[in-house]
């Protein structure tokens, strides 16, 4: 059977990246043919600037050489421009008459420089800045001529001007407006930039409108509206780009400014996909590679017929690739209505930083002179991190945040070559830089795979990202906005959960099959997550997969460093009695438990129990009404209480009873990570409720509810959620909170991190403001608890999962047993 045919028009960065992604997902699915108008294999267009500046050679920037196409069985037609698409016969034709039929067509025709429609635009010596040919023309001119004029003071224009200056030309940059890079920079940053570029020898002519290019044969000068002239033997037009859509338009595919595509990167004709600068998605055009690579991923997913990825637009950031100038810009850099601006200025050091903040989230950033924290701000911007907790320090950068781990060393560009970057794997900066350059790495993941840097503990991730940035001098190197769930897939936690829900996936093998998992049965990172997501989505149907649980949850006890286990019975609200205590004491004695310890969660830990003894101990405890305390699970752990108004002279409410009720409602529930609760009887807060995942503090008129606290490595005090009056309300809010956390947090994400990611206002909108929504969440929680509240110890004491606790016996002994 012959394979379906895929034709790619446009042998550039977005199109070929799509093929690479496709080959990862479904190698050999298609017969692939590529048409490229340029006479080169796919190269890294971004690096044309350093090539022009003499910092790189042309051969250094080839991304996919001809051998790559051959190795993957791809037919490459270089130097052949497609001039017609026949959508009825499904075939394309080039200028020289070459034809190719397709089942799927991918348009990635990029864009072309916009050439000002002024007299003289066709003179020799007038070029755009887009491809290798343009660079060759510029280099030729720089050898023979003296005067260059660059029209356009944006990113591309400045990079061209810088390159030509480096090649020894006298360069004037002409710009229509009064500030440079107005699409990325605010005025103060633009002024700093202009001064630095002037110091390096560039001339500027701002607020100048070009009227004509003068000369016969070759250009000689540029004339402006005000009558003035500047000599020019070379004119580079860098005033903007226009998507290449003529071909698509002529074949009847719907276009506006670009080729219109849906979230699945399909054009109006479902056989035809489009990616890259030629597309228009939700009204937006794109001119940077980061979003194009995201599109490539989504498009490949659909070409591979996995059918689940969606492109929902991108946030982008920019860096100027002019050596010696540090500049970073992202998002809404201008600020304006509804925004606040945080500013830092140190003119003598030439440092300027501005963060635009909206609703306590970073909405944009402009950094000049010190861009070390660009990646960090950008990450927070994409993640929508709530910055209220550290906003007074945020401008000083991540190094001042206390526990980032790499403080002063984080000036990646200034690090010496032999500095160790990744302590775990002993990788120094030079190894990373060499790998990036020689193996042409683009992303953090690729650096990880090739050098192992940041592949282990990950605390050097930020630094590695900065090295990527300073080496490539570009913005596309930051890790993709979407973090895949694990290495077995490209999908995020959220995408997987959505697929589970929408496609009705009910088992792990089914899920892996239909979402195109790269491994036959996942890995130790994804399987527990998937097991949890399925359990959470289908509470009454899903059959738990013990083999996809960490050992602690599989055997319902905590493994200790010596391979023994600990046993912690539930002690409701921390209240016990002589009968229970006696039972625990008897068990400890009978089984010679080596250590008995009171835990921080107001219960008793029996440590050092061999695995084979667990069912017997549980059976014995069970006789006295003691059950599992889930001290080992990503689940509700304890509800800590104080003695409250029953005993305490300050107490205003019965915190103990409420604590016990909360524990009775929530025990047995599986959650993304462990959950601890506490109830205090007055604001003196003896139960330490304000460092718990859910804390309740009594006040005269009712209860205050607090969320997202955490003891541990980094202590985080809770956020105040709201105040309620009655015990019943506490229960309802607690259940709704638990369920929202269960449904929306990522596996292994504690409530503290979850809330920092989504922001307190979001929680309030779902739990406090939306009463109907809260009740629905509460109902779903209680429903999921119906089957969850089964004591796992009792089941196992009665023989469930027996094989877990018994070693195998070699056959000789077994044989005797049979005979006897």
State the binding site: 642, 648, 682, 686
Q: Is 475 in the site for ligand FAD (CB under 6 A)?
A: yes
State in angstroms the smallest separation of the CB of 585 from another protein. Answer: 29
C-beta of residue 637 within 8 angstroms of C-beta of residue 598: no
Residues 262, 273: Cα–Cα separation, whole Å: 9
Work out which of 91, 206, 212, 288 binds ligand FAD, going by CB under 6 A. Answer: 288
Indicate the residue among 258 and 516 with the shorter CB distance to ligand FAD: 258
Q: Is 416 in the site for another protein (CB under 8 A)?
A: no
State in angstroms the smallest separation of the CB of 28 from another protein. Answer: 22
Pick out residues in 590-609 that bind ligand SF4 (CB under 6 A): none
Indicate the residue among 422 and 705 with the shorter CB distance to another protein: 422
- The CA R_g of the chain, rounded to the nearest whole Å, is 32
Indicate the residue among 133 and 814 with the shorter CB distance to ligand FAD: 133
Shortest Cβ contact with ligand SF4: which residue?
681
Q: Is 819 in the site for another protein (CB under 8 A)?
A: no
3-state SS assignment for residue 106: strand
CB neighbours of residue 236 within 10 Å:
30
What is the residue-wise DSSP string for 743-785?
HHSPTT--HHHHHHHH-HHHHIIIIII-HHHHHHHHHHHHHHH
Q: Which helix (H) or strand (E) holds 537?
A: helix 526-537
Sheet holding 91-94, edge to edge: 82-86, 91-94, 99-101
Residues 432, 796: Cα–Cα separation, whole Å: 51
Q: Which two tokens stand for residue 485?
A: 């769930």
Polymer length in residues for the chain: 820
Indicate the residue among 184 and 628 with the shorter CB distance to ligand FAD: 184
The item of ligand SF4, ligand FAD, another protein, none sharing an interface with residue 113, based on CB under 5 to 8 Å by kind, is none
- Whole-Å CA distances, 298 to 255, 497, 615: 20, 17, 49
Q: Is 682 in the site for ligand SF4 (CB under 6 A)?
A: yes
CB within 8 A of 350, min separation 6: which ones? 192, 196, 368, 369
Indicate the residue among 410 and 680 with the shorter CB distance to ligand SF4: 680
The item of ligand SF4, ligand FAD, another protein, none sharing an interface with residue 227, based on CB under 5 to 8 Å by kind, is none
Pick out residues in 53-82 that bind ligand FAD (CB under 6 A): 81-82
Indicate the residue among 10 and 644 with the shorter CB distance to ligand SF4: 644
Piece of 283-291, 366-374, 406-414, 528-536 that binds ligand FAD (CB under 6 A): 283-291
Site string for another protein, 376-415 (x = CB under 8 A): ----------------------------------------
Contacts of residues 514-521 at CB distance under 8 Å and 24 or more positions apart, as own/partner, are 514/306, 515/306, 515/308, 515/489, 515/491, 516/25, 516/26, 516/301, 516/304, 516/306, 516/489, 517/488, 517/489, 518/24, 518/487, 518/488, 518/489, 519/488
State in angstroms the smallest separation of the CB of 209 from ligand FAD. Answer: 24
Query: Which residues belong to the annotated binding site for siroheme?
Result: 686
CB within 8 A of 96, min separation 6: which ones? 80
State in angstroms the smallest separation of the CB of 697 from ligand SF4. Answer: 8
Work out which of 643, 717, 748, 779 binds ligand SF4, going by CB under 6 A. Answer: 643
The residue with tokens 């003119």 is 347
Which residue, 662, 660, 668, 677, is CA-closest to 556? 668
3-state SS assignment for residue 215: strand
Indicate the residue among 263 and 801 with the shorter CB distance to another protein: 801
C-beta of residue 131 within 8 angstroms of C-beta of residue 218: no
The residue with tokens 């991923």 is 297
Total residues at interface with ligand FAD (CB under 6 A): 37
Indicate the residue among 110 and 331 with the shorter CB distance to ligand FAD: 110
Indicate the residue among 682 and 734 with the shorter CB distance to ligand SF4: 682
Q: Is 651 in the site for ligand SF4 (CB under 6 A)?
A: yes
Indicate the residue among 136 and 420 with the shorter CB distance to another protein: 420
Most distant CA pair in the chain: distance in Å? 114
Q: Is 680 in the site for ligand SF4 (CB under 6 A)?
A: yes
CB within 8 A of 811, min separation 6: which ones? none
Which residue, 665, 642, 653, 764, is CA-closest to 707? 764
C-beta of residue 706 within 8 angstroms of C-beta of residue 695: yes
Q: Which two tokens stand for residue 563?
A: 């391979």
Q: Is 520 in the site for another protein (CB under 8 A)?
A: yes
**Beta-strand relationship, 317-319 and 126-127:** unpaired
State in angstroms the smallest separation of the CB of 731 from another protein. Answer: 36
State in angstroms the smallest separation of the CB of 474 from ligand FAD. Answer: 4
C-beta of residue 105 within 8 angstroms of C-beta of residue 132: no
Q: Is 501 in the site for ligand SF4 (CB under 6 A)?
A: no
State in angstroms the smallest separation of the CB of 156 from ligand FAD. Answer: 6
Pick out residues in 560-589 that bind another protein (CB under 8 A): 561, 563
Indicate the residue among 265 and 488 with the shorter CB distance to ligand FAD: 265
Piece of 101-109, 224-232, 649-657, 667-675 that binds ligand SF4 (CB under 6 A): 649-657
Which residue, 522, 513, 478, 515, is CA-closest to 494? 515
Work out which of 178, 284, 346, 521 binds another protein, going by CB under 8 A. Answer: 521
Helix 444-451 vs helix 429-438: crossing angle, to nearest 10: 110
Total residues at interface with another protein (CB under 8 A): 31
Residues 529, 511: Cα–Cα separation, whole Å: 12
- Whole-Å CA distances, 234 to 114, 125, 348, 593, 774: 17, 5, 36, 87, 67
The item of ligand SF4, ligand FAD, another protein, none sharing an interface with residue 12, based on CB under 5 to 8 Å by kind, is ligand FAD
Q: Is 669 in the site for ligand FAD (CB under 6 A)?
A: no
C-beta of residue 35 within 8 angstroms of C-beta of residue 77: yes
The item of ligand FAD, another protein, ligand SF4, none sharing an interface with residue 682, based on CB under 5 to 8 Å by kind, is ligand SF4
Site string for ligand FAD, 296-325 (x = CB under 6 A): -------------------------x----
Site string for another protein, 527-546 (x = CB under 8 A): xx-----------------x
State in angstroms the smallest separation of the CB of 655 from ligand SF4. Answer: 6
Work out which of 10, 291, 335, 522 binds another protein, going by CB under 8 A. Answer: 522
Piece of 106-114, 537-545, 568-576, 705-713 that binds ligand FAD (CB under 6 A): 106-114
Work out which of 19, 141, 149, 247 binds ligand FAD, going by CB under 6 A. Answer: 247
C-beta of residue 624 within 8 angstroms of C-beta of residue 794: no
Site string for ligand FAD, 20-39 (x = CB under 6 A): ---------------xxxx-
Indicate the residue among 322 and 571 with the shorter CB distance to ligand SF4: 571
Q: What is the DSSP letter of 712?
A: S
SS (H, E, C) 538-593: CCCCCCCCHHHCCHHHHHCCEECCCCCEEECECCHHHCCCHHHHHHHHHHHHHCCC
Q: Is 615 in the site for ligand SF4 (CB under 6 A)?
A: no
Q: Is 49 in the site for ligand FAD (CB under 6 A)?
A: yes
Indicate the residue among 385 and 685 with the shorter CB distance to ligand SF4: 685
Query: Which residues belong to the annotated binding site for [4Fe-4S] cluster?
Result: 642, 648, 682, 686
Q: What is the DSSP letter of 274?
A: E
Indicate the residue among 649 and 803 with the shorter CB distance to ligand SF4: 649
Residues 694, 600: Cα–Cα separation, whole Å: 16
Shortest Cβ contact with ligand FAD: which residue?
12
Which residues sit at the interface with ligand SF4, rule CB under 6 A?
A: 642-644, 648, 650-651, 655, 680-682, 684-686
């Amino acid at each position: 059977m012959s394979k379906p045919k895929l034709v790619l028009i446009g042998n550039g960065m977005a199109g070929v990246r799509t093929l690479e992604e496709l080959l990862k997902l479904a190698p050999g699915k298609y017969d692939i043919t590529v048409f490229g108008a340029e006479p080169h294999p796919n190269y890294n267009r971004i690096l044309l600037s350093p090539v022009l500046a003499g910092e790189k050679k042309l051969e250094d920037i080839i991304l996919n050489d001809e051998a790559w196409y051959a190795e993957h069985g791809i037919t490459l037609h270089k130097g052949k421009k497609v001039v017609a698409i026949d959508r009825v016969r499904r075939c394309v034709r080039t200028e020289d008459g070459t034809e190719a039929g397709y089942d799927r067509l991918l348009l990635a025709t990029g864009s072309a420089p916009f050439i000002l429609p002024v007299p003289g635009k066709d003179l020799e010596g007038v070029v755009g800045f887009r491809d290798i040919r343009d660079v060759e023309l510029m280099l030729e001119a720089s050898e023979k001529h003296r005067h260059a004029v660059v029209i356009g003071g944006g990113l591309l224009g400045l990079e061209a001007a810088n390159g030509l200056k480096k090649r020894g030309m006298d360069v004037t940059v002409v710009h229509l407006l009064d500030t440079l890079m107005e699409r990325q920079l605010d005025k103060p940053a633009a002024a700093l930039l202009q001064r630095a570029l002037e110091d390096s020898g560039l001339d500027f002519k701002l607020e100048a409108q070009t009227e004509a290019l003068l000369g016969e044969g070759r250009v000689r000068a540029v004339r402006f509206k005000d009558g003035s002239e500047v000599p020019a033997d070379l004119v580079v037009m860098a005033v903007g780009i226009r998507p290449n859509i003529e071909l698509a338009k002529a074949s009847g595919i719907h276009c506006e400014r670009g080729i219109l595509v849906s979230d699945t990167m399909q054009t109006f004709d479902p056989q035809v996909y489009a990616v890259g600068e030629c597309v228009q998605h939700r009204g937006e055009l794109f001119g940077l590679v980061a979003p194009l690579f995201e599109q490539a991923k989504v498009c490949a997913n659909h070409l591979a017929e996995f059918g689940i990825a969606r492109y929902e637009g991108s946030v982008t950031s920019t860096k100027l690739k002019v050596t010696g100038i540090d500049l970073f810009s992202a998002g809404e850099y201008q600020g304006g209505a509804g925004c606040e601006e945080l500013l830092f200025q140190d003119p003598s050091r030439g440092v300027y930083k501005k963060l635009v903040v909206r609703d306590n989230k970073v909405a944009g950033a402009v950094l000049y002179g010190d861009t070390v924290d660009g990646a960090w701000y950008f990450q927070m911007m994409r993640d929508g991190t709530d910055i209220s907790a550290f906003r007074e320090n945020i401008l000083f950068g991540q190094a001042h945040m206390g526990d980032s781990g790499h403080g002063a060393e984080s000036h990646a560009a200034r690090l010496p070559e032999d500095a160790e970057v990744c302590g775990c794997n002993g990788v120094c900066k030079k190894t990373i830089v060499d790998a990036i350059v020689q193996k042409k790495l683009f992303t953090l993941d690729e650096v990880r795979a090739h050098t192992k840097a940041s592949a282990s503990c990950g605390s050097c991730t930020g630094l590695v990202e900065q090295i990527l940035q300073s080496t490539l001098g570009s913005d596309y190197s930051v890790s993709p906005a979407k973090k895949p769930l694990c290495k077995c897939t490209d999908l995020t936690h959220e995408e997987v959960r959505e697929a589970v829900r929408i496609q009705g996936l009910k088992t792990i093998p089914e899920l892996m099959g239909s979402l195109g998992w790269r491994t036959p049965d996942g890995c130790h990172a994804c399987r527990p997550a998937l097991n949890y997501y399925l359990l959470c989505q289908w509470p009454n149907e899903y059959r738990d997969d013990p083999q996809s649980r960490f050992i602690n949850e599989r055997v319902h006890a905590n493994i200790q460093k010596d391979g023994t286990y600990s046993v912690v019975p539930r002690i409701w609200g921390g209240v016990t009695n002589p009968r229970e205590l006696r039972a625990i004491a008897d068990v400890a004695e009978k089984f010679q438990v080596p250590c008995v310890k009171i835990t921080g969660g107001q219960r008793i830990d029996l440590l050092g129990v061999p695995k084979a003894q667990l069912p017997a101990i549980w059976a014995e405890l069970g006789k006295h009404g003691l059950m599992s305390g889930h001290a080992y699970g990503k689940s509700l752990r304890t509800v800590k209480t104080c003695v409250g108004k029953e005993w305490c002279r300050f107490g205003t409410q019965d915190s103990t009873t409420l604590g016990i009720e909360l524990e009775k409602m929530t025990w047995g529930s599986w959650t993304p990570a462990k959950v601890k609760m506490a109830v205090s009887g007055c604001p003196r807060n003896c139960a330490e409720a304000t460092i718990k995942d859910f804390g309740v503090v009594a006040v005269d008129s009712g209860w205050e509810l607090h969320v997202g606290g955490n003891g541990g490595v980094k202590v985080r005090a809770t956020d105040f959620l709201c105040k309620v009056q009655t015990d019943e309300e506490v229960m309802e809010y607690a259940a709704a909170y638990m369920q929202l956390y269960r449904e929306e947090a990522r596996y292994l994400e504690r409530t503290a991190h979850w809330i920092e990611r989504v922001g307190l206002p979001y929680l309030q909108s779902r739990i406090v403001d939306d009463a109907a929504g809260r009740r629905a969440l509460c109902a779903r929680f209680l429903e999921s608890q119906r089957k969850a509240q089964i004591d796992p110890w009792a089941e196992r004491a009665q023989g469930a999962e027996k094989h877990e606790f018994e070693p195998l016996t070699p056959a000789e002994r077994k044989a005797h047993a049979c005979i006897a």
